[in-house]
Structure 1
Amino acid sequence: MNRTQDLQRLQKETFDICIIGGGASGAGCALDAALRGFKVALIEKNDFAAETSSKSTKLIHGGVRYLEQAFKNLDFAQLKQVRHGLEERQIVLQNAPHLARPLPLLTPVFSWWEGLYFSIGLRMYDFFAKGDSLPKSRWLSKKETMLRMPSLDAKKLHSAVLYFDGQLDDARYCLGLAHAAAEAGVAVANHLQLIDFEKDTNGKLEGAVVTSTLDNGVEPPFSIKARLFINCTGAMADHIRLKANPTLSRRIRPSKGVHVVLPYEVLKSDDAMLIPKTSDGRVVFAIPFEGQLLLGTTDTDYTQLENEPLLEEKEVEFLLDTLAPYLAKRPDKSQVKAGFGGLRPLLAASESDSTKKLVRDHEVEYDESSNLLSLLGGKWTTYRYMAKETIDKAGELLGAERPCLTADHVLVGGEDFAFEDWKIIQTVYRLAKDIAKHLIRKYGSRAHKVARLTQENIVWSQRLVEKFPFIQAEVIYQVREEMACTLRDVLARRMRLEIMDWEATQEAVPVVANLMAQELGWTQAHKQKQIDEYLQLVQSFIKSAE
C-alpha cells in the first residue's frame, strides 16, 4: 500500500467507481468492484476501520438474539439476518484464517428449564448453520462447565450450553480488505476527507473534492473524477447523502455501544461467555481477546456524531454489574485496563423505535437525482454480502454486470497460511515464542516480511512494552506496507494496544513516535505534536471511564 503513489493516481485518473468510507463496507465494496474489473478509488477521512469497524465485539455470528426475537415476534426479517449471518460466517473464517477463528461460547444456566430453553434455541441456530465446519452446540454438565470456566459461581450454577461462533480482529481484517483491494488495483488513500461534490448541469455527481486530514500541509484539496460514487460511511451516511442531495430524508439512527477490557484472570477461560439477560433487555458477551477479557456491549441512542463516543463510568458499572452474578468473585472497577465506545449505523423505521429493537439489516439505496449509491446499515459478519449487493447495483448502473468473485478470495496474509510456521520464525529470526506466534496471527503468511526487518536493524526486534509481544519492526512494516500515518493508526488499529491497555499504550508512545518520525520524515515539532495530542486523547479515555 503506497499512499503517495495512490494520491497521484487519484488526482490524475478517472475512475468507474469512487467509494467513500474505508470501513468494512467500503473496503469490501472496493475489493469486490476491483475483482469484477472496475477501475476503483477508495478514500477514508480518518483511517481504515477507524470508526465502527474497529469497535465491534469481535464476533462473526448469525445472532442468537435475533433468532430468539424472530420466533418470539414472528419477525422474518430477523430470521433472514440470522441466515445471511451464518452463511457469511464461514466465508469470513476461511478468507482470512490468520485473523478469524472459531470461538467456543458458554451460556451458564441456573435451572434445568433454562438449560432446556437455551439448548433448544442453539440447536435451531445449528440447524440454520448446517453445512459449515464449526462444531455443534451441546448441553454441558455442571462439572464440565466448571472445568472449562472455573471462575463461575459454583453455588448458583446448574449447567451451561456450549455453542460456537467466530472471532476476528476487526480492525486488521478491515485493513486486510483494503490491502487486498490495493493489490487488486484500487487507488487507496486514508486520511482524505470529502469536502464537497462537483455536479454536472443535471445535478449528477461527477467529482469529489477532497482534502488531507493530516496536518503536515503538503496535500492541497483536489478533485477525484468518477462515473459513480458509493457512500459507505456508516453512521455518517446521512451527511454524505445530504451533501449529494439536500432534499433527502435522514435514514440512519446511530446507536452507541461500549466495551470494557479486564484481565484474563477475571474469567480464567479460553471460552467466551454469553450473558442472555441484562437489565436493559440485551445480551452481553465476555470474550477472551489478545490475552485480555473483552466485556460488552450496550445499546443507547447517540446524536453527537461530531464527537467520538467514549466509555463512561456509568457504562463501566453497568457491564460489571451484568457480569458479577455469574462469577464467584465480583470484578472490581479498579481492574478495568481499557475500553472503547463505537457507533452502530442502524436503519430506523420511525423515530420512536428503540435501538435494541432495530434489525441490524442493510439497504442499498440509489438516489436517481444525484446518481449517488449508498450502502446503509448492516453488520460486520455480512460485510461481503452487503458489498456484493452494492456492486451488483453499481454494475447495473454502469451497464457492466459481472459476477461477484469475493466468496473465495483470500485476503492479504491468508495465502498458504499455516499457524505452525511460527516455529520457523522463532528459529530463523531468534524471536521469543510469544512474539513469533503473535506475528503469525496478525500478519499470516507475510509475518516473514515483518520478521525480516529485524535483520535490517537488530534494535527493531525489541518489544515496544515489556508485557506485550509487539516489536519495533511492526511499526516499520506498518508504515512501509500498511499505510500507517499517525500514532493512533499504529497503536489503535494495526496493533490493538489502545483497546487493551491504556497504561501500556502511553508507555509505547515515545518509541513508536521515534520510529514513525524516522520513516516518515517528521520534524521534531510535528513528532512532539503527535505525542502530545495522542497522550491527551488516551488521558481523556481514562478520565471518562473513572
Structure 2
Amino acid sequence: MTTSVSPLPTDRAGIMSALSNLGQVDLAIIGGGATGLGVALDAVLRGLSVVLLESCDFAKGTSSRATKLVHGGVRYLAQGNVALVREALHERSTLLRNAPHLARPLPFVMPGYKCWETPFYGVGLKMYDALAGKAGLGNTQFLSARQTRACVPGVKAAGLKSGVKYWDGQFDDARLALVLARTAAAQGALLVNYCPVTELIHEDGKVAGLQCQDAETGLSYVVRARCVVNAAGVWVDDIRHKDGDALGRATQAMVAPSQGVHLVVDREFLPSDHALLVPKTEDGRVLFAVPWLGKVILGTTDTPRDDLAREPRPFASEVEFILGEAAKYLERAPQRSDVRSIWVGLRPLVRQPENEGGATKKLSREHTVLVSPSGLVTVTGGKWTTYRAMAEDVLEKCAESVWHTPLAACRTANFPLVGAPSDASARPSITTAPGLNAYGTEAPCVNQLPGADIELAPGLTEAMVRFGVRYEYVRSVEDMLARRVRLLFLDAALAAQLAPRVAALVQEETGIDAKLDEFLALAQQYHTLPD
C-alpha cells in the first residue's frame, strides 16, 4: 500500500487562492519543520480542517540540519532515562516502516582503545537491544580489533583493542519533512511556504486566528481558527511575545538555543556502510562519523548561542574540535581543505517558563507543550525521531485545554508517507549518492517529465528540478539544491557550479526570480571555514 502514486500539484496560485477563500479552520499551525508538519498530518487524518504556514521553506531551519539519525538515544540510556529511550525506539521502527524510501537501518561501531571500553559500552548496548525488543534492528556484537577494522576500514589501527557494533537508523531529514507536507496536503490540509505570520488575532482575550503575508507578493491574508499551534522551533518565542504583547502580558523566553556543527568530507575517509561513534571524547562530547548519500558527516557540537540566525555560522573552536577529534580516530585525518560542506543547526533547548498562568505540560521526551492564557498552544524541544509522538501530545493538549472535546483516534502510526513502497525489503541504501531512490514509488512520475535523460550531476536530472517545482513546493534554486536534493549539504562547491542551470529551470517553471545570487552567496558560506 502507498499513500499516493499520482502526485498532487503544488501550484502556488492555487494555494494562495485557497488561502484567501478559507473559512474558519479547526487548526492553524505556525511552522513548517518536523513538529508542525507532524501535527498537520496527524490533525488532518483525524478529520480536522488544517492550515500550516511557514515563513521560509519547509525544513529550512533545524529540521534540515540534523545528524540524519533515527535513534533511540544511547546517551539517554546512560542517563537512566529508560522511558524516553523505549518511546524513541518505538518511534524509530514506526518511521522506518512508514517511510522506507527515506529511512533505513544503519550499523554503528564504537572502537575500543582502552580495555574497559568495549565491555562497558557493550553491556549498555545489550540493554538497548532489550528495550527495543521486537522493534530491534539487529543484535549488538562484540568485535575483535580485526573485525572492527573490517567494519570501519578507515578507523585508526594504532592502539585499537576491540569494538562493539550496534544498530540504529538513518534518514534524509529535509525530504522526510517534504513528504510529511505532501502527505498532509494529499489528505486535505493546506500548507503554504514563504508565508510568515505577522500578527495573532485576539477576541475577548483568546486567540481566534492570525494574519500572514505572502513573501512573494506582499499580500496579506487572515486565517480564523479554533486553535492556533505555535510550532516555530527555536523561534517560538517570537510568536509567544506577539501573543503576550497583544494582551499586555509579559512572556518569558522558553528556548535557550544550542548549535550543532557538521562537517562533510569524502567517503574515502570512512569507506564503509557502518557509522563510527565515539561516545565520550576527552571533553565529554560525542563524535560521529556517519556515511550519508555518498559522503561522510563528521560532528556534532553542542554550543550555546544567543542569537537565532536563519543561517548560523560555526565557531572556529567547533571546527577545530571536530577535525581534532576525527584525527584521533580516523587513519587518514581530515584537513580543513577536505571539507566539502559545513552546516549548522540550532537546537531548541527548553527552559520552562514560570508564572505564565496557563496550563503547562512538561513531557518526558524532552519537549514541552504549553498553553498560554489566550489559548495559544506552543510546542518546542524534542527531536526528529519522536516527531509523531510529539504531534499526538500537541493534539491531546488542544483537545483538553482549547476545544474541550475528545478527538478521533490517531492514525499516523500505520500511515505510509507519500512515495513509500509497499515492500520494505525494497528499501534502497541512502549511503550512496542521491538520486531517484529518494522518490520511492514516484520515481516513474519524475521520469515522465521533460529532461529525464539530461543529467546535471550524478543523481540530479532536469526532470527532478521540474518535479520539484510542480509537485514539491520549490520556489527557488536554494529550495531545490539544499532540501529537495541535498547537494548544498554534500558539496557546496558543486552546488554552486550547478546553480545557474538549476535556477534557469526553476525560473522557467515558476515565472519568478529563482534567487541565484542569494544562493551563490549561501554556497560560499557553506564552503568557507571560520579562521
**TM-score, normalised to structure 2's length?**
0.91
How much has 1:349 moved relative to structure 2? 5.4
Q: Aligned residue for 2:435?
A: 438
Question: Are 1:411 and 2:417 matched, yes or no?
Answer: yes
Q: Aligned residue for 2:170?
A: 167
Question: Are 1:156 and 2:159 matched, yes or no?
Answer: yes
User: Secondary structure at the residue paired with 1:56?
Assistant: coil
User: Secondary structure at the residue paired with 1:192?
Assistant: coil
Q: How does 1:277-296 map to 2 (within 5 A)?
A: 277-296=280-299
Q: Aligned residue for 1:354?
A: none
How much has 1:150 moved relative to structure 2? 1.6
Cα separation, 2, equivalents of 1:504 and 1:359: 42
Cα separation, 2, equivalents of 1:189 and 1:140: 50
User: Secondary structure at the residue paired with 2:227?
Assistant: strand
Q: Aligned residue for 2:208?
A: 206
User: Secondary structure at the residue paired with 1:543?
Assistant: coil
How much has 1:303 moved relative to structure 2? 1.4
Cα separation, 2, equivalents of 1:374 and 1:15: 18
Q: How does 1:172-251 map to 2 (within 5 A)?
A: 172-200=175-203, 202-214=204-216, 218-246=217-245, 247-251=250-254
Question: Are 1:139 and 2:142 matched, yes or no?
Answer: yes
Question: Are 1:462 and 2:454 matched, yes or no?
Answer: yes
Given that 1:110 and 1:156 are in contact with CA atoms closer than 8 Å, whether structure 2 keeps it comes out as yes
User: Secondary structure at the residue paired with 1:139?
Assistant: strand
Question: Are 1:27 and 2:37 matched, yes or no?
Answer: yes
Counterpart residue type for residue 252 of structure 2: S
Cα separation, 1, equivalents of 2:67 and 2:127: 23
User: Secondary structure at the residue paired with 2:196?
Assistant: strand
Cα separation, 1, equivalents of 2:76 and 2:427: 39
Given that 1:346 and 1:360 are in contact with CA atoms closer than 8 Å, whether structure 2 keeps it comes out as no
How much has 1:100 moved relative to structure 2? 0.3
Given that 1:317 and 1:333 are in contact with CA atoms closer than 8 Å, whether structure 2 keeps it comes out as no
Given that 2:63 and 2:174 are in contact with CA atoms closer than 8 Å, whether structure 1 keeps it comes out as yes
Cα separation, 2, equivalents of 1:253 and 1:2: 37
Percent identity of equivalent pairs: 40
User: Secondary structure at the residue paired with 1:464?
Assistant: strand
Cα separation, 2, equivalents of 1:61 and 1:532: 37
Cα separation, 1, equivalents of 2:460 and 2:486: 10
Q: Aligned residue for 2:464?
A: 474
How much has 1:228 moved relative to structure 2? 0.6
User: Secondary structure at the residue paired with 1:245?
Assistant: helix
Counterpart residue type for residue 393 of structure 1: K
User: Secondary structure at the residue paired with 1:485?
Assistant: coil
Cα separation, 2, equivalents of 1:54 and 1:272: 20
How much has 1:269 moved relative to structure 2? 1.1
Q: How large is the RMSD of aligned CA atoms in angstroms?
A: 2.0
Cα separation, 2, equivalents of 1:111 and 1:278: 13
Given that 1:395 and 1:402 are in contact with CA atoms closer than 8 Å, whether structure 2 keeps it comes out as no
How much has 1:417 moved relative to structure 2? 5.1
Cα separation, 2, equivalents of 1:420 and 1:69: 36
1:433-464 deviation per Cα after TM superposition (whole angstroms, max 9, x unaligned): x89x8212x110111100111xxx3x442222
**TM-score, normalised to structure 1's length?**
0.89
**105, 121, 125: which one aligns with 1:118:** 121
Q: Using CA pairs under 8 Å that are at least 6 residues apart, name the structure with larger relative contact order, 1 or 2.
A: 2
Cα separation, 2, equivalents of 1:350 and 1:19: 21
Structure 1: runs of 5+ lacking an equivalent: 71-77, 352-357, 423-433
Question: Are 1:57 and 2:57 matched, yes or no?
Answer: no
Q: How does 1:271-310 map to 2 (within 5 A)?
A: 271-310=274-313
Q: Aligned residue for 2:498?
A: 508
User: Secondary structure at the residue paired with 1:461?
Assistant: coil
1:53-110 deviation per Cα after TM superposition (whole angstroms, max 9, x unaligned): 100000011111111122xxxxxxx332212111111001000000000000000001
Cα separation, 1, equivalents of 2:347 and 2:277: 20
Cα separation, 2, equivalents of 1:230 and 1:469: 37
Counterpart residue type for residue 409 of structure 2: P
Cα separation, 1, equivalents of 2:425 and 2:495: 27
Counterpart residue type for residue 401 of structure 1: L
Counterpart residue type for residue 8 of structure 1: S
Q: Aligned residue for 1:5?
A: 14
Q: Aligned residue for 1:402?
A: 408
Given that 1:417 and 1:445 are in contact with CA atoms closer than 8 Å, whether structure 2 keeps it comes out as no
Cα separation, 1, equivalents of 2:493 and 2:90: 40
Cα separation, 1, equivalents of 2:331 and 2:526: 29
Structure 2: runs of 5+ lacking an equivalent: 1-9, 355-362
Given that 2:101 and 2:421 are in contact with CA atoms closer than 8 Å, whether structure 1 keeps it comes out as no
User: Secondary structure at the residue paired with 2:385?
Assistant: helix
Q: Aligned residue for 2:4?
A: none
Question: Are 1:391 and 2:395 matched, yes or no?
Answer: yes
Cα separation, 1, equivalents of 2:95 and 2:426: 21
With over 3 angstroms needed to count, the CA separation of the structure-2 counterparts of 1:50 and 1:307, relative to structure 1, is: closer
How much has 1:360 moved relative to structure 2? 6.4
Q: Aligned residue for 2:255?
A: 252
Question: Are 1:448 and 2:452 matched, yes or no?
Answer: no
With over 3 angstroms needed to count, the CA separation of the structure-2 counterparts of 1:417 and 1:45, relative to structure 1, is: farther
Q: Aligned residue for 1:344?
A: 347
For these two proteins, the number of residue pairs brought into alignment is: 504
Q: Aligned residue for 2:77?
A: 67
User: Secondary structure at the residue paired with 2:505?
Assistant: helix
1:102-124 deviation per Cα after TM superposition (whole angstroms, max 9, x unaligned): 00000000133211101101011
